[in-house]
Amino acid sequence: MDGVALLTIFVLSIFVGFEVIAKVSAILHTPLMSGANAIHGVVLVGAIVVTLQATTTAALVIGLIAIVLGAINMVGGFMVTDRMLEMFKPRQTDSAKKDAA
């Protein structure tokens, strides 16, 4: 894909990123940060792509390290977020909802 198309995607994603969390309540700042952190664990996919194509030992080794790091980020990130959110049981959802704004 050419540079301009990628740039278009980049710019549009910025706006989506801003819009999508614009109305988050303070109590969710920590889980939200943690969830976003897990999402950039998708760098694992990039690590797999480069390692699949590695032709030298150096590239292969660095690529494999990147995969390990990326997998830690992705798997650990989503799991730790889930553990946090487990605490917010929907026990009192209705009264909790009222002052979310």
Q: Tell me the closest approach of the beta carbon of residue 57 to another protein, in angstroms.
A: 11
4 binds another protein (CB under 8 A): no
Q: Tell me the closest approach of the beta carbon of residue 22 to another protein, in angstroms.
A: 7
Tokens coding 52: 């699949």
Residue 73 per-residue DSSP state? I
51 binds another protein (CB under 8 A): yes
89 binds another protein (CB under 8 A): yes
37 binds another protein (CB under 8 A): yes
Q: Which of 45, 27, 17, 35 has the alpha carbon at shortest distance from 80?
A: 35
57 binds another protein (CB under 8 A): no
Mask 13-32, x = binds another protein (CB under 8 A)?
xxxxxx-xxxxxxxxxxxxx
Number of other CB atoms surrounding residue 40 within 10 Å: 12
99 binds another protein (CB under 8 A): yes
Complete DSSP assignment for 36-52: HHHHGGGHHHHHHHHHH
